Structure 1
Amino acid sequence: MDLRYHTPLSPEDQRALGIDPVAPLAMADQVRFSELDALQHVNNAVYMEWFERLRVRYVQECGLSRYRDDGSDPRIVIRSGTIHYRQEMLMDETYVVTCACAAFRNTSFTLAQRLWSGGTLRATFDCVIVLLEHDGSARFALPEALKTRFREIDGARPET
């Protein structure tokens, strides 16, 4: 398979790479020398950068934010998150980060992000994201179109 970096991967591409379940958004990249620590494996903080890079793209593709400071987009704040490092990553390894909404409420949603390499799950990051008005003064309600997308594309469930 000819793997394209920095380009969304189709469900078929994901399956061919051993990713199960497939996600609405997945992108590949390769470990760089600058991401290694003194033990010659990927520094723990770098995983968070990889997850953030895809999370920003996911939010943009959902139409929730363009990340412009014109006052029209809500603030997107991580309220809490849990990362599990399952297996180290080494120089030159190719990896895929995936992102999907797992659940949502009126003003928040939970994202499930996964890091895969060689068909093996290497790390997970689950986080609760809260939306605030642009000025931070109050909570921002999830638009109905976004809730529909979460249900129909991501398979997310509403929480009470």
Structure 2
Amino acid sequence: MTDLPYLTPLSPDQQRSLGLTEAWPLAIADRVRFSELDPLNHVNNVAYLIWFEIGRVTYFKHIGLSSYDDGAEEPRIVIRRGEMEWLQEMRADEEYVVRSRTVAYRSTSFTLKQEVWSGGTKRADFTCVIVLLYPDGSGRMPIPKRIIEHFHQVDGVETP
């Protein structure tokens, strides 16, 4: 995987070349750093959460949900609930891919599925419910129509 760009969206062909049989709307590659290891030389559990956050922020920028510009009038994006499963350990210098896609939505929230893959094996997954709030935090904000269209056309979400 060393010829792939890190922290840059991977094409479907790049995803398939890594053993991912199904290309997702967003996948980014990176590698395990020394600072992410615990005393047993395994990746610390919190590192996976950080990787998933990097994947989420990239996904939200990619679909146009947020630019993360302080001056922009954009929704507040809040994780309402999350569930993580660690499936196989990872170690120093392993290259990995974090992939992200929306799998369901309602009027003001959606479910995002994320996975970490390395060496053709799924190592961890994270599923979370994201709620959109108005920029001032005054209440829940409906998902913009263009984002719902993306969920259908790109992520393959069926109408609820």
Q: TM-score range by the shorter chain?
A: over 0.9
Runs ≥4 in structure 1, deviation > 4 angstroms?
Answer: none
**Counterpart in the other structure of 1:111:** 112
Tell me how many residue pairs correspond in the alignment. Answer: 159
Unaligned runs of 5+ in 1: none
**Counterpart in the other structure of 2:98:** 97
Residues 80-117 of structure 1: CA deviation (Å, up to 9, x unaligned): 01000000010010000000011111111111101000
**Counterpart in the other structure of 2:146:** 145
Q: Distance in 2 between matches of 1:20 and 1:158?
A: 25
**Residue 20 of structure 1: how far off its partner (Å):** 3.1
> What amino acid is the match of 2:100?
C
Q: Pairwise CA RMSD of aligned residues?
A: 1.1
**Counterpart in the other structure of 1:136:** 137
Farther-moved stretch of structure 1 (56-65 vs 2-11): 2-11
Q: Distance in 2 between matches of 1:37 and 1:3?
A: 27
**Counterpart in the other structure of 2:40:** 39
> What amino acid is the match of 1:119?
G
> What amino acid is the match of 1:10?
S
Cα contact 1:23–1:99 (8 A) shared by 2? yes
Q: Distance in 1 between matches of 2:93 and 2:37?
A: 10
Q: Distance in 1 between matches of 2:17 and 2:46?
A: 28
Residues 35-71 of structure 1: CA deviation (Å, up to 9, x unaligned): 0001110000000000000100110111111112335
> What amino acid is the match of 1:144?
K
Q: Distance in 2 between matches of 1:94 and 1:143?
A: 35
> What amino acid is the match of 1:35?
E
**Counterpart in the other structure of 1:11:** 12
Q: Secondary structure at the match of 1:54?
A: helix
**Residue 7 of structure 1: how far off its partner (Å):** 1.6
Cα contact 1:31–1:92 (8 A) shared by 2? yes
Unaligned runs of 5+ in 2: none
Q: Secondary structure at the match of 1:51?
A: helix
What TM-score comes out, normalization by structure 2 length? 0.95
